[in-house]
Amino acid sequence: MTIIVTGGAGFIGSNFIFYSLAAHPEDRIVCLDKLTYAGNLSTLQPVMDDRRFRFVRLDICDREGVYALFEEERPDAVINFAAESHVDRSIEDPSVFLQTNVVGASVLMDACRTFGGVRYHQVSTDEVYGDLPLDRPELLFTESTPLHTSSPYSASKAGADLLTLAYFRTYGLPVTVSRCSNNYGPWHFPEKLIPLMIVNCLHDRPLPVYGQGLNVRDWLYVEDHCRAVDMILRRGRVGEVYNVGGNNEMRNIDIVRLICRELGKPESLITYVTDRKGHDLRYAIDAAKIRRELGWQPETRFEDGIKRTISWYLEHRTWWEEIISGEYRDYYDRMYGDR
């Protein structure tokens, strides 16, 4: 197969490329990425010389460019990881989220149907379901939970999900959608909770916890997510949505305390800051469908995954130091300066 992987210079897309090239030596991967602030070509350095890999700098909204790439590569499948992915940035400015996450997805799907029923997988998120209350632990998101979004980010992702399912019903395009919970692991951009706390700890900087830190997320090691996407692409039923989750709910404050402990830093670094607007309280995924139909389940326990992740950040300082010395500084000042 030739697979176009969009957003492959970002966190999950790059992990997916490494996973897929190792798991399927017969496949070819073409990574299409605009290289926004979140995309990093140095991440893909280990596969740049692999004959089964090609990198193309392109915006998924660029219809002409995308069609030309399809003409040249004649892909069998497209996996769309490309997105604006950070909730806080979507609160600052929703417009680019609508453009990339909704319009970009439609351009890719138009190319898929124009070039003859190319398989399309939309990488979505559990955030499309909105949130769950903190005092009803028995409630979980299933694939039939109504979409009920809170942020411009999640609304744009929900828009793309609906569009994907509409392309299946209207044009018969062979699509699947996965909705995954919070990922963590290597190559995670340090604007997100876990890498931000690791990086700040390593600099003995304040650890900004939103509100009281009681919001709950369901954490999954990134490679487990990559394996789920791979299984859905190969064996998932077209027209279907699959939830993917870690069955590992944790409060933000407990994650931050754990990182302090692992790095031998004092909890006095923790600083409670103004809460995120519209902050979702709790996400929790019921992943019974993908377990039942495809036999997928998480393989990495959080206790192991978080240790591995922290070690990775200790061993890859150049990667993240480069990031935090650039545009990130302005972002950080804007976001946390007088919070």
Residue 87 contact partner, candidates ligand DAU, ligand NAD, none, CB within 5 to 8 A by sort of partner: ligand DAU
Instruction: Report which of 242, 291, 211 is spatially closest to residue 126, judged by C-alpha positions.
Output: 242
Position among 3, 66, 160, 209 found at the interface with ligand DAU (CB under 6 A):
209
Asked if 153 is an active-site residue, the reply is yes
Residue 8 CA to residue 15 CA, distance in Å, equals: 8
> Residue 116 Cβ, how far from ligand DAU at the closest point, in Å?
31
Residues making contact with ligand NAD (CB under 6 A): 6-7, 9-13, 33-36, 38-39, 59-61, 81-85, 100, 104, 123, 125, 157, 180, 182-183, 189
Residue 187 near ligand DAU by CB under 6 A:
no
Residue 196 contact partner, candidates ligand NAD, ligand DAU, none, CB within 5 to 8 A by sort of partner: ligand DAU
Instruction: Report which of 89, 77, 96 is spatially closest to residue 27, judged by C-alpha positions.
Output: 77
> Residue 64 Cβ, how far from ligand DAU at the closest point, in Å?
28
Question: What residues contact residue 51 under an 8 Å CB cut-off, 6+ apart?
Answer: none
Residue 156 CA to residue 164 CA, distance in Å, equals: 12
Residue 54 contact partner, candidates ligand DAU, ligand NAD, none, CB within 5 to 8 A by sort of partner: none
DSSP-assigned beta bridge partners for residue 86: none
Residue 196 near ligand DAU by CB under 6 A:
yes
DSSP-assigned beta bridge partners for residue 180: 125, 244
Residue 141 CA to residue 287 CA, distance in Å, equals: 9
Torsion of CA 21, 24, 29, 34, to 10 degrees: -50
Position among 181, 243, 248, 300 found at the interface with ligand DAU (CB under 6 A):
181
- C-beta of residue 230 within 8 angstroms of C-beta of residue 161: no
Asked if 127 is an active-site residue, the reply is yes
Q: Would you tell me which residues interact with ligand DAU (CB under 6 A)?
A: 85-87, 125-127, 181-182, 192-193, 196, 208-210, 215, 217, 252, 276, 283
